[in-house]
Amino acid sequence: MTPRTIQQLFDLKGKVALVTGGSRGLGLQMAHALGEAGARIMVSSRKAADLEEAVATLQAAGIDARWIAADCSDEADIKRLVSETVERMGPIDILVNNAGATWGAPAEDYPVDGWDKVMNLNIRGYFLASQQVARACMIPRKSGRILNLASIAGLGGNPAGMNMIAYNTSKGAVITFTQALAAEWGKYNINVNAVCPGFFPSKMTMGTLKAIGEDKMAAHAPLNRLGDDEDLKGITLLYASDAGKHITGQWMAIDGGVSIITGG
């Protein structure tokens, strides 16, 4: 076989990508990366208004993008999301599990309903979406890429002293889930990898950044900066494309170097 060029390896033309939690923040950035490489994009989150705005920005960039509102903590909604995506766009080649939630409270006071909300969306939802997409598309075709959004908060400890035990636990579970699923589904030629972002300005991190200060948070990183609207694009495209076809069961911290200081 003649080796492909780097442009050919990263090319996603003809691929269909489903991005959960894709209406804003990191999910929307990843959707842009996949779409800019040629993939057709289905984004999902709970709120139709947010999705309409996200798809408008994707389409303005020349990306073939559509949306479906769904709650990724609900099994029936995930089944509907997958079946409607296949019906409207064809088999799913790339799944980005990004829908997530957080809840801050000291461990001794942490409410059980807060724990359940975070766990149900951040890890149970990833399992259900992966299972449904694999059953419907990836296993029968013996091909697929799954990208799971973890976090440097899942690498151990409590970054920046935040009281988010359920979130940290869920993101640690995402890393182990990624490794276990990659080991099981390698026989189907399904690559499963995780991305561990550090701090990126977003709606989810807004409260923390306001309380601690962006400059102080940036100072924790050897690169002395927070993540921006481009910093997840490269790893997303590597994991999703044939450029990363021999990578599975791995995680990568995209954090400006914070994890090498904290020991993650």
CB within 8 Å of 18: residues ≥ 6 apart: 42, 44, 81, 82, 85, 92, 94, 95, 96, 129, 133
Alpha carbon 158 to its chain centroid, in Å, reads 21
Q: What is the mean pLDDT of the chain?
A: 93
The predicted model scores a pTM of: 0.94
pLDDT score of 59 more than 70: yes
pLDDT in tens, 69-121: 999 999 999 999 999 999 999 999 999 999 999 888 889 999 999 999 999 99
Confidence (pLDDT) at 12: 98
Q: What class does CATH assign to 15-253?
A: alpha beta
pLDDT score of 264 more than 60: no
Confidence (pLDDT) at 166: 94
Q: Around 56, how many Cα atoms within 13 Å sit in the side-chain half-sphere?
A: 6
Confidence (pLDDT) at 160: 56
Q: Is 167 a catalytic residue?
A: yes
Confidence (pLDDT) at 201: 79
User: Which residue in the list 126, 167, 188, 239 is annotated as catalytic?
Assistant: 167
User: Structural domain boundaries of the chain?
Assistant: 15-253
Q: How many CB atoms lie within 10 A of CB 189?
A: 15
Q: Around 121, how many Cα atoms within 13 Å sit in the side-chain half-sphere?
A: 20
Confidence (pLDDT) at 242: 98
Q: Tokens at residue 189, please? A: 């030629």
pLDDT bracket for residue 203 (50, 70, 90)? low
Percent of the chain with pLDDT over 90: 82
CA–CA distance, 162 with 12 (Å, rounded to integer) = 38
pLDDT in tens, 141-200: 999 999 999 999 999 866 556 788 999 999 999 999 999 999 999 999 999 999 999 988
Contacts 24+ apart (CB under 8 A), 51-58: 51/22, 51/23, 53/23, 54/22, 54/23, 54/24, 54/28, 57/28, 57/32, 58/28, 58/31, 58/32
Confidence (pLDDT) at 224: 92
Alpha carbon 81 to its chain centroid, in Å, reads 16
